[in-house]
Amino acid sequence: MVSAAPFLDCAPGVPLISLQGIRRQYGGQGGQPAVQVLHGIDLEIGAGEFVAIVGQSGSGKSTLMNLLGCLDQPSSGSYRFNGQDVARLDGDELALLRREAFGFVFQGYHLIPTESARENVEVPALYAGTPEEERAQRAAALLGRLGLAEKLHLRPNQLSGGQQQRVSIARALMNGGHIILADEPTGALDSHSGAEVMALLHELADAGHTIILITHDREVAAQARRVIEIRDGRIVADSGAQAVRTPARALPAPRSAPVSPGLQFWSDLREAARTAWRGMRLNRSRTALTLLGIVIGVASVIVMLAIGEGARRQVMERMGTMGTAILYIGSKAPATGGPAGQLSEEDLQAVRELPEIARVLPVIGDPITVRHGRADKQVYVFAASEEMPAVHHWPVAQGRYYTAAEDQGLAPLVVLGHKAHQHFFPDTPNPLGRQLLIGNSPFEVIGVMSERGADSGAQSYDDMVFIPYNAGRARVYQAQTQPDYVVVQARSSEVVHAAEASMHRLLLARHGREDFGIGNAAARIQAEAETRRSMTVMLGLIAAVSLIVGGIGVMNVMLMTVKERTREIGIRVATGARQRDILRQFMTEAVLVTWVGGSVGVLAGLLVGGADCRGCAGGVFRDRDVRRICLRGRDGIAVWLHARQGRRARLDPVVALSGDLR
Ligand code: ADP
Ligand code: MG
């Protein structure tokens, strides 16, 4: 890092500014004709001089001023500032030189429209790293001295032209303003304000500042102590350097001890965030639209993932309760005609002996009237062997299940489903030992199953009661010689297909014709899970696309703001901003927009995806079938569609598309 000192310590005998053979041409690339604007300028200006450069419009004055102020580089020739070759300085050093040595005053004032008078004056000090308090104090003091003490908080468009020009002079003085470069400072002002500004420049010249005043007006130029005339890019007259009366600076230089790099970083960041926030606020509708894009993108990603997750859990739940290795056998009439087949005990024994098969569970089940006291109800009575809890991965909550011996001994025992318990024994937490009349036979309650929930399959197992297979056949389903269906558990989900094939082969060999059917629940659930998974991926992709669109929106807006604010960028560069200062400012804006949009999106997504169905806090949606849509989070985040007659369904892709409400 270079220090400012070498630029400003006047070496005796060395002119402050020395131009030799300076030329500047525009164009000349891409087939455009080159336009030579400056044709070899030789010029020396000493510290403390008050120089006017006068010439007609188009003679190259502004071009020369931009070179003098290091805003532009000559095409050829040398520019020495205080003896140093400016061409050798890199970008940061040039920025340093601009903010330490020069103060610019422009015809169009060039104030940043979104900032107040005081903040505009502070800008050069911002890039010099002056601490915040000192900055504000000095800016207020300068504005006070220039008669604007009352106007500190007004924005440029609330000030008159003369006042704006005084603000820009205060800004030029903010970092010391050793050399004031004023390009037509009175050009846009009425004669009274113009005279005021000239008086101010005189005062500064008397105080020791070097003033370079550029004007097309000879009367204005005549007020300077030295007049240089320029015509068509050449110096045609020079009244000559004059003895400098006062040697330098009366204004206190604002050089303070630079703050530590860490502190500097945070204060820079705060400043950038402040500017970014202000820009966002002033362009409310544009910001809101950009934010909307991001909010929708982020929220939809979250909601889609939540819905997918809900669907996944539902499938997992069903896999857990039904098992991933479950097959069903039933008898049916063969397609070729003839009576339905019979599944005999011997058939089941043969199936049991297949290597792929773990358990075989014959089931008889029908709705039967069940009574206790005055409560009676049609209940599905599930008669099966003692292996039912193992096959269905379903534990007993209270009491116990019956044993194989009890099944063989035709014991009249019953185990209640969770809801059956509530229905028949609403006031009896422990119903063990009570009697239940199933059909016409009394059964003793020995256990209650754990709750399976509403999502466990087509029938609600919680409503059922469970009795031993042999007791059921003897006492309830009189004279039924064969099971309604048989639940078969394969050894693992990997051998389900092999088990299906061997059972098919075996039964075909035993029966000689296809009078039976084999259902493969596991394969069906797995296929369904696959469909759901791909649907979820698809929804996720759609959501991701909307997020990308939101991102492109941010890029687009940033591009627009940069283009829109080239003038502001120019002002900041002229007041000593480095390239990275500018970059940081725009990056901060982009990050701020993205961050705010992202946070709101996450919140919205969680709100939509995480609400609870029981309170039905979600939005209300009316349709012929669907009464309302709501959301819940108890067992994973899901969207519920409530239909008429108390039916409802989780909105997952498959259900939503098939319209299959349960
Ligand atoms: P003045 O300030 O004396 O009115 P300028 O220095 O602004 O004159 O411009 C001098 C000449 O250079 C004009 O003819 C102008 O058209 C030309 N010129 C200035 N800037 C550019 C540029 N960026 N590209 C091409 N020509 C330019
Ligand atoms: Mg000009």
DSSP string, 29-69: STTPPPEEEEEEEEEEE-TT-EEEEE--TTSSHHHHHHHHT
Using pLDDT thresholds of 50, 70 and 90, give the confidence band for residue 254.
very low
Residue 321, phi then psi, degrees to nearest 5:
-80, -40
Question: What H or E segment, with its residue span, contains residue 164?
Answer: helix 161-173
Cβ atoms of 142 and 266 closer than 8 Å: no
Tell me: pLDDT of 34 over 90.
no
Ligand 1 atom with least separation from CA of 66: 6
DSSP assignment of 58-84: TSSHHHHHHHHTTSS--SEEEEEETTE
Question: What H or E segment, with its residue span, contains residue 196?
Answer: helix 191-206
Ligand 1 is surrounded, with C-beta below 6 A, by 26-27, 35, 37, 55, 57-63
Name, in order, each residue with C-beta under 8 angstroms of 519's C-beta and a sequence gap of 6 or more. Answer: 327, 328, 329, 330
Ligand 1 atom with least separation from CA of 60: 6
Which structure tokens are listed for 196?
């005021």
From the list 245, 190, 181, the residue with the least C-alpha distance to 213 is 181
Question: What H or E segment, with its residue span, contains residue 307?
Answer: helix 284-322
Task: Tell me the torsion sign for CA atoms 236, 72, 116, 114.
Answer: positive
User: Could you read off the pLDDT of 257-285 as tens digits, one per residue?
Assistant: 455 667 777 877 887 888 778 777 777 88
Distance between Cα 232 and ligand 1 center (Å) = 10
User: Could you read off the pLDDT of 192-232 as tens digits, one per residue?
Assistant: 888 888 998 999 999 889 999 999 999 989 999 999 999 99
Cβ atoms of 638 and 307 closer than 8 Å: yes
Q: For the ranges 62-76, 313-327, 472-486, which has the lowest average pLDDT? A: 313-327
Q: How far is CA 556 from CA 543, 552, 580, 587, in A?
A: 20, 6, 21, 13
Tell me: pLDDT of 402 over 90.
yes
DSSP-derived 3-state class of residue 178: coil
Average confidence (pLDDT) over 39-43: 92
Cβ atoms of 435 and 443 closer than 8 Å: yes
From the list 349, 365, 392, the residue with the least C-alpha distance to 467 is 365
Calculate ∠ Cα 271-275-279, nearest 5°: 170
Average confidence (pLDDT) over 30-58: 89
Mutate to test the pocket of ligand 1, among 35, 71, 107, 212 (most ligand atoms within 8 A of CB): 35
- In this predicted structure, what is the pLDDT of residue 621? 34
Tell me: pLDDT of 92 over 70.
yes
Tell me: pLDDT of 312 over 80.
no
Q: What percent of the chain has pLDDT over 90?
A: 24
Name, in order, each residue with C-beta under 8 angstroms of 191's C-beta and a sequence gap of 6 or more. Answer: none
From the list 327, 333, 306, the residue with the least C-alpha distance to 499 is 327
From the list 322, 301, 358, 391, the residue with the least C-alpha distance to 602 is 301
Distance between Cα 183 and ligand 2 center (Å) = 7
Ligand 1 atom with least separation from CA of 216: 3
Mutate to test the pocket of ligand 1, among 63, 75, 215 (most ligand atoms within 8 A of CB): 63
Q: For the ranges 56-70, 233-247, 623-637, which has the lowest average pLDDT? A: 623-637
Tell me: pLDDT of 242 over 70.
no
Question: What H or E segment, with its residue span, contains residue 207?
Answer: none
- In this predicted structure, what is the pLDDT of residue 442? 92
Mean pLDDT, the chain, integer? 80
Q: For the ranges 14-23, 98-107, 278-287, 464-473, which has the lowest average pLDDT? A: 278-287
Burial code (b: 16+ CB inside 10 Å, e: under 16) for 22-48 equals bebbeeeeeeeeeebbbeebebebbbb
User: Domain coordinates of the chain in residue numbers?
Assistant: 5-259, 264-324+522-631, 333-514
DSSP-derived 3-state class of residue 309: helix
Average confidence (pLDDT) over 613-626: 38
- Which residue CA neighbors atom 24 of ligand 1 most closely? 26
Cβ atoms of 433 and 485 closer than 8 Å: no
Using pLDDT thresholds of 50, 70 and 90, give the confidence band for residue 5.
very low
Question: What H or E segment, with its residue span, contains residue 361?
Answer: strand 357-372
Tell me: pLDDT of 143 over 80.
yes
- Which residue CA neighbors atom 26 of ligand 1 most closely? 26
Distance between Cα 213 and ligand 2 center (Å) = 12
Q: Any idea how long the chain is? A: 662
Q: For the ranges 27-31, 77-81, 189-193, 216-220, which has the lowest average pLDDT? A: 27-31
Tell me: pLDDT of 519 over 60.
yes
- In this predicted structure, what is the pLDDT of residue 653? 39
- In this predicted structure, what is the pLDDT of residue 613? 44
Using pLDDT thresholds of 50, 70 and 90, give the confidence band for residue 563.
confident
Using pLDDT thresholds of 50, 70 and 90, give the confidence band for residue 548.
confident
From the list 647, 661, 651, the residue with the least C-alpha distance to 631 is 651
Name, in order, each residue with C-beta under 8 angstroms of 108's C-beta and a sequence gap of 6 or more. Answer: 188
Measured from the alpha carbon of residue 59, the closest ligand is 1
DSSP assignment of 455-510: TSSSS-GGG-EEEEHHHIIIIISTT--S-SEEEEEESSGGGHHHHHHHHHHHHHHH
- In this predicted structure, what is the pLDDT of residue 570? 87
Tell me: pLDDT of 378 over 50.
yes
- In this predicted structure, what is the pLDDT of residue 612? 44
Give, rounded to a whole angstrom, the gap between the first and last alpha carbons of the chain. 73
Cβ atoms of 380 and 364 closer than 8 Å: no
Measured from the alpha carbon of residue 33, the closest ligand is 1
Distance between Cα 65 and ligand 2 center (Å) = 9
Token look-up 């097309």 returns 216
Tell me: pLDDT of 615 over 60.
no
Using pLDDT thresholds of 50, 70 and 90, give the confidence band for residue 19.
very high
- In this predicted structure, what is the pLDDT of residue 566? 85
Average confidence (pLDDT) over 539-549: 82
Name, in order, each residue with C-beta under 8 angstroms of 418's C-beta and a sequence gap of 6 or more. Answer: 397, 448, 449, 450, 451, 452, 462
Which structure tokens are listed for 537?
């991926």
Cβ atoms of 507 and 347 closer than 8 Å: yes
Tell me: pLDDT of 632 over 80.
no
Distance between Cα 159 and ligand 2 center (Å) = 24
Ligand 1 atom with least separation from CA of 59: 3
Ligand 1 atom with least separation from CA of 183: 2
Neighbour count for residue 274 (Cβ, 10 Å): 12
Tell me: pLDDT of 447 over 80.
yes
Tell me: pLDDT of 167 over 90.
yes
Tell me: pLDDT of 50 over 50.
yes
Which segments of 512-616 does DSSP mark as H helices, in order? 521-564, 566-574, 579-610
Distance between Cα 617 and ligand 2 center (Å) = 66
* pTM, rounded to two decimals: 0.60
- In this predicted structure, what is the pLDDT of residue 181? 93
Tell me: pLDDT of 146 over 80.
yes
- Which residue CA neighbors atom 15 of ligand 1 most closely? 58
Average confidence (pLDDT) over 553-571: 81
Q: For the ranges 41-55, 273-287, 402-416, 563-577, which has the lowest average pLDDT? A: 273-287
CA neighbours within 13 Å on the CB side: how many for 392?
22
Cβ atoms of 301 and 540 closer than 8 Å: yes
Tell me: pLDDT of 433 over 80.
yes
Question: What H or E segment, with its residue span, contains residue 249?
Answer: none
Residue 113, phi then psi, degrees to nearest 5:
-65, -25
Q: How far is CA 411 from CA 360, 466, 470, 473, in A?
A: 21, 13, 8, 11
Which segments of 565-578 does DSSP mark as H helices, in order? 566-574
Which structure tokens are listed for 547?
């997020």
- Rounded to the nearest 10 degrees, the angle between the axes of helix 521-564 and helix 284-322 is 170
Using pLDDT thresholds of 50, 70 and 90, give the confidence band for residue 323.
low
Distance between Cα 3 and ligand 1 center (Å) = 34
DSSP assignment of 128-177: HT--HHHHHHHHHHHHHHTT-GGGTT--GGGS-HHHHHHHHHHHHHTT--
- Which residue CA neighbors atom 7 of ligand 1 most closely? 62
At the topology level, CATH places domain 5-259 in Rossmann fold (3.40.50)
- In this predicted structure, what is the pLDDT of residue 54? 94
